[in-house]
Structure 1
Amino acid sequence: MDTNKTVLIVDDDNMVLESIDLLLSAADGLQSIRALGSAGAMSHLRQAHVDVVVADVILAGNVSGIDICHEAIRHNDEVAIVVITADTEVHVHDIPDRGVFLRKPFGAAELLAAIGLALGKVGRR
């Protein structure tokens, strides 16, 4: 990544948030914002500029990670999307067109590659 990017991480499991945050902290040019659940994610989308959303599909409550991604696109039509899940019932066709799908568990290299691919889909490297 050649410039600084802000990544919003959305999950309802604090350990997953911390793990992804740790993976991203080792990468140059990425800073992360953690959102525990959909309410926190919506708040961050309204208050901060977000370049990339990394969202778990299944969140507690009525709002899914897919909903968060669509809301992020409404706020910023150049936001990159990475959808993550451990659920084997979720398929690629369920995510936004610009999204990149990543199945849990994954490592740093896979996450960074997915973020790079997602940024490339919106033309923001």
Structure 2
Amino acid sequence: MTRLLYVEDDPLLRTVTTMALEDAGYEVVRAEDGREALRLLEEHGGFDFVVSDISMPGGVSGLDVAQAARQSRPGCRMVLMSGYATSQLPALPDDALFMTKPFRVPDLLAMLADGAQPSAAA
């Protein structure tokens, strides 16, 4: 089963998206902020995917989580999300995909099904 770390500070969005990801066959470990995500990466080891909001409270961003996830498992694939335009964000890792919030769950599932390869980015 594909292991996925989902990091989202909005509780409703986190719950609904987690349910959809699990229904699609992913083993989902969820975190409510970057600090919890870093702890989970340390406790659970590497993940196949990390899907994370970029801007979160607590001083640890989705970019920090992405960097830690890559150190934990170099082949980990990233989907980073934000309600901000990419021009308003720091530079994203070259191999990470970006999804604008709000997003449609079927679009996220399609991105993951495609293997979240950089060539699939819009």
Specify which of 31, 45, 53 is matched with residue 35 of structure 1. 31
CA contact (8 A) 1:81 1:118 kept: no
The aligned amino acid for 1:43 is R
- Cα deviation 1:20-52 (Å, max 9, x = unaligned): 102202213x11111011121011111113110
Aligned residues: 117
Q: Deviations over 1:62-111 (max 9, x none)?
A: 21111110111111101010001112355687221211111112222210
Measured in 2, the distance between the counterparts of 1:96 and 1:24 equals: 24
RMSD of Structure 2 on Structure 1 (CA)? 2.0
Relative distance call for 1:106 and 1:74 in structure 2 (3 A) is same
2:40 counterpart of 1:7: no
Q: Secondary structure at the match of 1:94?
A: coil
User: In 2, are the aligned partners of 1:99 and 1:118 still within 8 Å (CA)?
Assistant: no
Q: Distance in 1 between matches of 2:98 and 2:62?
A: 12
Matched, 1:108 2:105: yes
Seq. identity, %? 26
Matched, 1:47 2:48: no
1:98 and 2:95 are equivalent in the alignment: yes
Question: CA contact under 8 A between 1:13 and 1:36: conserved in structure 2?
Answer: yes
What TM-score, normalized to structure 1? 0.82
Q: Measure, in 2, the Cα distance between the counterparts of 1:98 and 1:41.
A: 20
